[in-house]
Amino acid sequence: MTQDLPTALNLPMADPLPADTQKYFDICQDKLGMVPNVLRAYAFDIDKLNAFTTLYNDLMLADSGLSKLERELIAVVVSSINKCFYCLTAHGAAVRELSGDPMLGEMMVMNWRVADLSERQFAMLTFAEKMTKASAEIMEQDRQALRDAGFTDRDIWDIANVAGFFNMTNRVASATDMRPNDDYHAQSR
């Protein structure tokens, strides 16, 4: 069911949007063919939107020892554990697009362990899973397993931050009944 608001909360977007925000939304529309509902949801408070987009863009798009696909794999594994409908839909589409493999996107959403992953990816996702389920139980041996798989300490920082970000956003999306844009469902199939 499509709804007029991106969440179950009645927090309408700022009107008019500041020029920089409108420009950002126009770029999203041009590049993605839509303005993601998560951005529309945050647009009731431009400072919160800017904080969200700054952190998201840094974690998911900036230079990193992790590929964009690896970061999206983390997003989907964390979202799968948390059963976040919004993020599974949006980031499952990103995995399909970045990998060129629709089956990989589906496997990651349903059970990442059935996917044909490299040892590096498996180690990374095992860490993200443990961080999501029991972060207080992470020990040096967990970080060492990542180093043994070829990750640097900076990469481990990035893995932890991407997993942490999606644990936070999953909870916000689920608590507010945030709905993914309908366009995500058909992308890269």
Run of H or E including 51:
helix 46-61
- Report the alpha-carbon distance of residue 130 to residue 186 in Å, rounded: 31
The pLDDT assigned to 4 comes to 62
The whole-model pTM stands at 0.94
CA distances, 183 to each of 6, 154, 186 (Å): 14, 35, 6
- Mean pLDDT within 50-60: 98
Structure tokens at 163: 């997993």
Going along the chain from its start, the domains and CATH numbers come out as 19-61 (1.20.5.810), 68-186 (1.20.1290.10)
CA distances, 139 to each of 75, 135, 144, 153 (Å): 22, 9, 9, 14
pLDDT digits (tens, 9 = 90+) for 140-187: 999 999 999 999 999 999 999 999 999 999 999 999 999 999 888 778
pLDDT digits (tens, 9 = 90+) for 81-117: 999 999 999 999 999 999 999 999 999 999 999 999 9
The pLDDT assigned to 185 comes to 77
The pLDDT assigned to 187 comes to 80
Residue 63: which residues within 8 A CB-CB, separation 6 or more? none
Phi, psi of 180 (to 5 degrees): -70, 155
DSSP for 27-43 reads: HHHHHHSS--HHHHHHT
User: Are the beta carbons of 80 and 109 closer than 8 angstroms?
Assistant: yes
Residue whose token pair is 């770029």: 27
The pLDDT assigned to 93 comes to 94
Q: pLDDT grade, residue 68 (50/70/90)?
A: very high
How many of the other CB atoms lie within 10 Å of CB of 35?
A: 18
